[in-house]
Amino acid sequence: MAAKLKKGDKVVVLAGKDKGKTGEITRVMPKDGKAIVDGVNIAIRHTRQSAQSQGGRIPQAMPIDLSNLALMDKNGKATRVGFRMDGDKKVRFAKTTGDVI
Distance CA 52, CA 30 (A): 30
CB atoms within 10 A of CB 71: 22
CA contacts within 13 A on the Cβ side of 80: 4
For 36-76, the pLDDT digits (tens) are 999 999 999 999 999 998 999 999 999 999 999 999 988 88
Helices (H) and strands (E) in the chain, counts: 0, 10
Distance CA 44, CA 28 (A): 21
Domains of the chain and any CATH numbers: 10-71 (2.30.30.30)
Write down the pTM of the prediction.
0.83
**pLDDT attached to residue 35:** 95
